[in-house]
Structure 1
């Protein structure tokens, strides 16, 4: 065998290129599989944390609603020191109803501005681009 032969024997032996490519391919496949397992484990851990975080946010929302209810009762109790309890409750209920109506009207206005749920400006821009391309293609 010559010095530049792909198959050498002895202490300085090199593997054939095909064997090296095959081994590199196997190692790369194993590396990709290992990385995928690692990514899956990481995403599982993150998913658990997101679940716990979501549960805690939900609990905080519930406690926040209970806190607001306690605040409403406190306001009614404070007003009842100067007027009848029923009148204090009626005043607080009226204020809350007015806030609710205002928020609903503002919400409806915002939804109206968002309708229809299509990217109109982008669609108009694409139509203009298509028309310009057609015009240049006809020249």
Structure 2
């Protein structure tokens, strides 16, 4: 009894259809399903396989780049919100400093003339600002414009690449 094409597509074997036992000839087995547009691996050329690998690798790289972009965007949003909060804290700190200075001026105003009290507080802020300026300028002079250690290691790498045995 021969199987119809519909029986083969449904996955029935000759043994199932006839009730026979034993090995089923390969001609009676249903054809294996291949994804559309692909050939069995043994029928593909080396060029086709390399092309597919290249396409897959390119897609992987594009997917990774998209993931990186999404992560960077998410982190930049977090950093922007945090920066805004820090700016608000800086403004609040400025107001505390200003109002605290006025409090000191009025407190000294109970001991001396209000104008002299304001002058004393202004002088204290001038001295504090001068100290901060001098320390900042000293530290700024210590900053190197170029990453010297990186430049040195790159020079060593270039020299080694020219003469790898030495």
For normalisation by structure 2, the TM-score amounts to: 0.55
Q: 1:89 aligns with which of 118, 122, 132?
A: 118
Number of the residue aligned with 2:142? 114
Structure with greater contact order relative to length (CA < 8 Å, sep ≥ 6): 2
Q: How many residues align?
A: 113
Q: 2:76 aligns with which of 47, 50, 59?
A: 47
Q: If you compute each CA radius of gyration, which structure gives the higher value, 1 or 2?
A: 2
Number of the residue aligned with 1:74? 103
1:102 aligns with 2:137: no
Aligned-partner Cα distance in 2 for 1:85–1:52: 42
Does the C-alpha gap of structure 1 residues 35 and 105 become closer, same or farther in structure 2, counting only changes over 3 Å? closer
Structure 1 gaps of 5+ residues are 1-9, 130-139
What are the superposed Cα offsets for residues 36-64 of structure 1, whole Å, 9 maximum, x if unpaired? 11111111111222222222222221221
SS in 2 for 1:34: helix
Structure 2 gaps of 5+ residues are 1-30, 33-39, 157-166
1:20 aligns with 2:49: yes
RMSD value, Cα:
3.1
Does the C-alpha gap of structure 1 residues 23 and 62 become closer, same or farther in structure 2, counting only changes over 3 Å? same
For normalisation by structure 1, the TM-score amounts to: 0.64
Does the C-alpha gap of structure 1 residues 64 and 28 become closer, same or farther in structure 2, counting only changes over 3 Å? same
